[in-house]
Structure 1
Amino acid sequence: MNIDSTGTSTRESVQVRRFHEGDSVEEVTLLLHRAYADHAAAGRIFFASYQSPQDTRHRLSKGECWIATRDDALVGTVTVSAPHTAPAGYPAPEGAGSFWQLAVDPSQRGSGLGHRLLTLAEGRMAALGSTHVVIDTSAAAEDLVAWYRRRGYVPIGTWRWDVTNYDSVVLAKALP
């Protein structure tokens, strides 16, 4: 558990819940832009670093969106889909779930929130009947790939999206 500068437990002060109609798609979009800004600055243009609120709304409609708030400020999000329909040729196990738009506000990095959202996503996919999860990220984002690998994800292939400027490594993990 992490303690913030006021002595408050970071884990307990962050609330995680389902996104609902009254929540702001624009705020989610701005969070995504902040969370992925370092990747964009490094030359890896993740779709989340520039997508519009309309793109965000469309992506949210494809699964369950979960948000994390701290003192009424949006600090994290993840969208889960299980089973997930992958494009033709995408290397995914049959019936695998997936998640996207996993984002943590830069002010919350190192707090464990990313791991908490990842654990939530994996639990939701398992509850929805998937036995595997499949995701992809920039092959050049070595720190991010290593983060997933430390959490049990293994590379199973590559992919190239038309909305990014990089080759992706596709990672999978068996769910309990």
Structure 2
Amino acid sequence: MESIIMRRFAGSDSAEELTTLLHRAYADHAAAGLVFFASYQSPEDTLSRLDRGECWIALEQETIIGSVTVTGAYGTPPGYPSSADAGSFWQLAVDPARRGTGLGHRLLTLAETRIAALGASRVVIDTSSQATDLLAWYSRRGYASIGTWRWDVTNYDSVVLAKNLAV
């Protein structure tokens, strides 16, 4: 893990490489029939999603092996169960070959730290109600369900999860 560098995504980085990572990272869910947007989004979609926050990438020997995009102000659609003081993150992804190494936890910690630095006292995310592995992973890291939501770019109901950030 010492050879892994975490830094902001830059204009010189490849949206295609990041999109390919996202597709690989979410492929198991897609194979199980859960259509996470990250499993099929285009490089243009990736860039659009990056424009809504700070994208951080994990690099090993100049190859993108992880990512997360964060924001301190999370604009949500009407009815979404979130509070005004919440930030969020999305596109949390780890190369499948790096699973179990702690990289996901490092990216999550980075996301929470950046969200707090951006002024949010709480983080709100959502994931598929059928992704029991992800729900358990987030639960072990202090996230609790606060409601449900249905996005028009997925084929499942989402569980909305929240965690209060340390001040």
Corresponding letter in the other structure for 1:110? G
Q: Distance in 1 between matches of 2:70 and 2:29?
A: 22
Q: 2:88 matched to which residue of 1?
A: 98
Matched, 1:108 2:98: yes
Q: 2:77 matched to which residue of 1?
A: 87
> What do residues 24-46 of structure 1 show as CA deviations (whole Å, max 9, x unaligned)?
01111000000000000001010
Q: Distance in 1 between matches of 2:57 and 2:160?
A: 24
> What do residues 36-68 of structure 1 show as CA deviations (whole Å, max 9, x unaligned)?
000000010100000001100000000000000
The TM-score with structure 2 as length reference comes to: 0.98
Corresponding letter in the other structure for 1:84? Y
Q: Give the one of 9, 18, 21 matched to 1:28.
A: 18
Q: Secondary structure at the match of 1:171?
A: strand
Q: 1:42 matched to which residue of 2?
A: 32
Structure 1 vs Structure 2: percent identity of aligned residues? 68
> What do residues 96-136 of structure 1 show as CA deviations (whole Å, max 9, x unaligned)?
00000000000100010000000000000000110000000
Q: Secondary structure at the match of 2:74?
A: coil
Q: Distance in 1 between matches of 2:33 and 2:14?
A: 28
Matched, 1:126 2:116: yes
Q: 1:8 matched to which residue of 2?
A: none
Matched, 1:166 2:156: yes
Q: 1:63 matched to which residue of 2?
A: 53
Q: 1:146 matched to which residue of 2?
A: 136
Corresponding letter in the other structure for 1:131? S
Q: Secondary structure at the match of 2:45?
A: helix
Q: Distance in 2 between matches of 1:71 and 1:152?
A: 32
Task: Note the residue ranges of structure 2 that are not aligned, 5 or more in a row.
Answer: none
Q: 1:4 matched to which residue of 2?
A: none
The TM-score with structure 1 as length reference comes to: 0.93
Q: Secondary structure at the match of 2:127?
A: strand
Aligned residues: 166
RMSD across aligned positions (CA): 0.5
Corresponding letter in the other structure for 1:95? D
Corresponding letter in the other structure for 1:89? G
Q: Distance in 1 between matches of 2:21 and 2:61?
A: 15
